């Protein structure tokens, strides 16, 4: 059981009494049916042979439906189907910052850890504060394989955008590499997004939140750590596709990503799909396909990512 006041941040992992490992998706805990629950999503199952097995979205939902339905959860705040674990069911809290520091301090590292070390040294040499960096994904659990990617977490908006700038400069100086054609194809296939491959690569290439270190793919993830005001309740009003201009992109790399748009009646786009994080910048004209929602105060927004996979929902720059 976790102590009271324990801080859960996105990209942390939590392990339950049943041997399930969830990735945290929202800071803190929500109150539901008299319990404090952490919003998360099932990522790994502990097998009887003593190993963690990674599970995909459909597998995760099916497993919980059959075995632990109490962990299935609809978040009113995020307006999304997620998972939620009561804090009293948590037996282990995996923290990206702590894990990274452990690896950096090691005398002997495997090849994945060594690539992580090399990448962190490059960031540090170019001004990054490694005290504001962590590592998530399989490395956080210590179950990385030779083919594993590196998922870095940067805490704070300034640290994250600094890391994007450093990545762009290191790629330009050929100290890091951009993804090659096969890497992009593999990333595109995993996303199952509505964009074409060419559209996907064009949008992703200018975000500078991924690259290659010694041939190994890495991603930069942003965790704000600041609590934003809770959303009011929205009512779903059907699918919509429109074209508009982006007026504000300050929260474009957040979860959920939020964009203010120039439209006569709709003020905001909220995106729960990682593919469209940082997708558009201020002043650009975009096409948006999603679900129209109306708030209690009469205001309107578009949600991109109304379900986990959200087929047909997208954001793309058109001018």
CA distances to 32, 213, 285 from 123, rounded to whole Å, are 41, 12, 33
Query: Is 287 in contact with 242 (CB distance < 8 Å)?
Result: yes
Query: Is 262 in contact with 292 (CB distance < 8 Å)?
Result: no
Phi/psi at 279 (5° precision): -70, -30
Q: What's the count of helices (H) and strands (E) in the chain, helices before strands?
A: 7, 18
Query: Is 317 in contact with 203 (CB distance < 8 Å)?
Result: yes
How high is the pLDDT of residue 301?
95
Instruction: Give one word for 13, left, alpha or beta, with left for phi > 0 and alpha for psi -120 to 50.
Output: beta
Phi/psi at 41 (5° precision): -145, 135
How high is the pLDDT of residue 256?
86
Q: How many residues comprise the chain?
A: 319
Query: Is 285 in contact with 304 (CB distance < 8 Å)?
Result: no
How high is the pLDDT of residue 1?
39
Ranges of residues in the chain with a pLDDT under 70 are 1-6, 32, 77-79, 227-231, 307-309
How high is the pLDDT of residue 94?
97
SS3 154: strand
And the tokens for 46? 């502990």
Q: Cα 111 vs. chain centroid, distance in angstroms?
A: 25
SS3 54: strand
94-133 tens-digit pLDDT = 999 999 999 999 999 999 999 999 999 999 999 999 999 9
And the tokens for 207? 């975000």
CA–CA distance, 16 with 36 (Å, rounded to integer): 14
SS3 94: strand
Tracing tokens 């909220």 back to the chain, one arrives at 270
Q: Which residues contact 53 (CB under 8 A, 6 or more apart)?
A: 44, 45, 46, 47
How high is the pLDDT of residue 227?
64
How high is the pLDDT of residue 3?
42
Pairing mode, strands 234-251 and 257-262: antiparallel
Instruction: Taking the CA atoms of 167, 172, 174 and 180 in sequence, report the sign of the dihedral they define.
Output: positive
SS3 150: strand
Mean pLDDT of the chain: 91
Q: Which residues contact 236 (CB under 8 A, 6 or more apart)?
A: 291, 292, 293, 306
SS3 169: helix
Burial of 227 (0-12, 13-18, 19+ CB in 10 A): exposed
- Torsion, Cα 248 162 207 27, to 10 degrees, reads -70
**Residue 1: count of CB within 10 angstroms of its CB:** 11
How high is the pLDDT of residue 308?
61
Q: What is the largest CA-CA distance in the chain?
A: 60
How high is the pLDDT of residue 304?
93
Q: Which residues contact 128 (CB under 8 A, 6 or more apart)?
A: 159, 162, 163, 166
How high is the pLDDT of residue 274?
86
221-273 tens-digit pLDDT = 999 877 666 667 788 899 999 999 999 999 999 988 999 999 999 999 999 88
């Amino acid at each position: 059981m976790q102590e009271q006041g324990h801080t859960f941040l996105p990209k942390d992992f939590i392990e339950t009494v049943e041997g399930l490992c969830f990735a945290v998706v929202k800071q803190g805990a929500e109150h539901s049916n008299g319990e404090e629950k952490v919003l998360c999503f099932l990522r790994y199952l502990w097998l009887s042979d003593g190993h963690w097995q990674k599970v995909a979205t459909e597998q995760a939902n099916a497993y919980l439906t059959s075995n632990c339905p109490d962990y299935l959860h609809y978040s009113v705040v995020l307006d999304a189907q997620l998972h939620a674990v009561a804090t009293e069911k948590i037996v282990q809290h995996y923290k990206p910052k702590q894990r990274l520091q452990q690896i950096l301090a090691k005398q002997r590292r495997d090849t994945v850890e060594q690539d992580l070390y090399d990448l962190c040294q490059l960031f540090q040499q170019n001004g990054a504060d490694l005290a504001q960096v962590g590592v998530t994904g399989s490395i956080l659990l210590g179950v990385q394989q030779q083919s594993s990617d590196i998922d870095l977490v940067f805490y704070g908006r300034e640290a994250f955008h600094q890391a994007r700038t450093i990545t762009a400069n290191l790629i330009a100086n050929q100290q890091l590499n951009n993804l090659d054609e096969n890497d992009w194809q593999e990333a595109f296939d995993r996303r199952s997004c509505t964009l074409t491959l060419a559209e996907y690569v064009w949008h992703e290439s200018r975000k500078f939140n991924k690259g290659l270190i010694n041939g190994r793919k890495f991603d930069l993830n942003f965790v704000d750590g600041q609590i934003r005001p809770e959303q009011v309740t929205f009512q779903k009003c059907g699918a919509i596709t429109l074209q508009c201009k982006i007026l504000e992109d300050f929260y474009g790399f957040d979860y959920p990503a939020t964009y203010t748009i120039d439209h006569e009646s709709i003020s905001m786009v909220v995106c729960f799909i990682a593919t469209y994080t940082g997708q558009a910048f201020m002043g650009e004209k975009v096409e948006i396909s999603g679900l129209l929602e109306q708030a209690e105060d009469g205001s309107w927004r578009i949600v991109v990512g109304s379900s986990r996979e959200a087929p047909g929902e997208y954001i793309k720059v058109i001018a």
